[in-house]
Amino acid sequence: MNFIIFTETKLRAFTYSVFKKMGCSDEHADLATDVLIRSDLRGIDSHGVARLSGYVRLWDKKRINANPNIKIVHETPTTATVDGDAGLGLVVAPFAMQVAIEKAEKYGSGWVSVKNSNHFGIAGYHALMAIEKDMIGISMTNASPLVAPTYANERLLGTNPMCYAFPAGKYPPVIVDMATAAAANGKLEIAQRANKSVPDGWVQDKSGENSTDPNELKNGGSLLPLGSDKDHGSHKGYGLSATVDILSAVLSGANYGPWVPPFVAFLEPSANPVGEGLGHFLGAMRVDGFRPAADFKDHLDNWVERFKSAKTIDPNKKVIIPGEPEHEFEQERKIGGIPIIDVVVKDLNELAVKLGLEELK
């Protein structure tokens, strides 16, 4: 597996040009670019520019509206439902989070459920928007049905990520950002590109047997919930995934469960949808609605320090604070550049040729 290093500036310019070719406004192209590049900077390579051609293919199939009329369709002082008008989730979710933040500024908290959207990138991007306002940010989304519930041999749920972001003082924010499946689908895609097997407990084949083949989803298999099997707590991962699906879609009027439209363009959405598009759920809570923000951040710093000083089984390993690896990646890659696997670079250059853009070099 070979990597090619690109500067953040070069990747931003290329990504922006792709979104502009799709017909996005300057503002939307810039925002969508920022979401993807932030993912690559934070080391979440599966959700960065590697996803770019997927968005273009959905746009080609007219499943993404490059110029959506994103609007609030139901509202109370602290809650809202947003219709994304089939827009890029990379644009729809930040709009919804901004609504949540504005409500929180007035009333202490804001909660927004979204329908008629698409894949929104990394959950962490949207939750982090609240951090800048000394708020706790919450972000989640349902996704293409690839996960079998505990005991099932049928894809009924997505990887359904959820993120909680907490502002600290002298330390980076504490960010719990995770898929509710044993692994995100993007990690399987990376393993496929690298021709590597995946750990036991990530996937099952079409017969329901454990497998380490990253191609099982293509062969009729499914991802497993967080926990892998009942003995290891898969019912908990299933429960978390169900929570995301209900808050994101049953609450908003989006498609849920097996009716969620697939991210891949070669698979058609359900002929009998139960809602509109994908669903998201965003929330913001003012820290000073509970205690002075400075006090909270001082104590979260203390929390971080105590956990970092924990005794460990292996003296060469330290307890990792949620969000710490991504923060370190971001600091390193802003200076040293962003490594992109050669297979992804090839894919992006084929996209460039198709759209009449300058190739990445």
Same domain membership, residue 152 and residue 260: yes
Whether residue 141 sits in one domain with residue 207: no
Instruction: Please report the pLDDT score of residue 192 as a whole number.
Output: 86
Residue-wise pLDDT for 165-219, tens only, equals 999 999 999 999 999 999 877 788 778 878 899 999 999 999 999 999 999 998 9
Q: What is the pLDDT of residue 312?
A: 97
Residue at 331 is within a domain:
no
Asked whether residue 262 is domain-assigned, the answer is: yes
Instruction: Supply the range of the domain harboring residue 62.
Output: 1-67+337-360
Question: Same domain, yes or no, for 134 and 236?
Answer: yes
Q: What is the pLDDT of residue 269?
A: 95
Q: Are residues 174 and 261 in the same domain?
A: yes
Domain assignment of residue 314, yes or no: no
Domain end position, chosen among 160, 194, 223: 223
Rounded to two decimals, the pTM is 0.95
Q: How many domains does the chain have?
A: 3
The chain-wide mean pLDDT, for the chain, equals 96
Cα dihedral: 27, 33, 35, 36 (round 10): 160
> Is 18 within a domain?
yes
Residue 26 located in a structural domain = yes
Q: Same domain for 57 and 150? A: no
Tell me the per-residue pLDDT of 30-76, one tens digit each, with 9 for 90 and over: 999 999 999 999 999 989 999 999 999 999 999 999 999 999 999 99
The answer to whether residue 316 sits within a structural domain is no
- Assess whether 153 and 247 both reside in one domain: yes
The whole-angstrom separation of Cα 44 and Cα 329 is 9
One DSSP character per residue, 122-160 reads: -HHHHHHHHHTTTEEEEEEE---S-BPPTT--S--B---
Q: Are 160 and 244 in contact (CB under 8 A)?
A: yes
Secondary-structure breakdown of the chain: helix, strand, coil percentages, each rounded to the nearest 5: 45, 15, 40
pLDDT band, very low/low/confident/very high, at 244 (cuts 50, 70, 90) = very high
Q: Is 274 exposed, middle or buried (0-12, 13-18, 19+ CB in 10 A)?
A: middle
State mean pLDDT over 9-20: 98
Same domain, 76 and 37: no
Q: CATH number of the domain that 123 lies in?
A: 3.30.1370.60
What CATH number should be reported for the domain holding residue 35? 1.10.1530.10
Domain membership of residue 106 (yes or no) is yes
Instruction: Based on the fold, state whether residues 144 and 19 are members of the same structural domain.
Output: no
pLDDT digits (tens, 9 = 90+) for 134-143: 999 999 999 9
Q: Say if residue 91 is in the same domain as residue 196.
A: no
pLDDT attached to residue 182: 94
CATH of the domain at 212: 3.30.60.50
Q: What is the pLDDT of residues 269-328, one digit of tens each?
A: 999 999 999 999 999 999 999 999 999 999 999 999 999 999 999 999 999 999 999 999
- For residue range 116-133, list pLDDT tens digits in order: 999 999 999 999 999 999
Q: Are residues 32 and 97 in the same domain?
A: no
Domain assignment present for 195: yes
Where do the H-state alpha helices sit in 209-258? 234-245
Residues 238 and 292 placed together within one structural domain of the fold: yes
**Binning pLDDT at 50, 70 and 90, where does residue 156 land?**
very high
Give pLDDT, residue 226.
96
- Residues 90 and 153 occupy one common structural domain: yes
**What is the pLDDT at residue 184?**
79
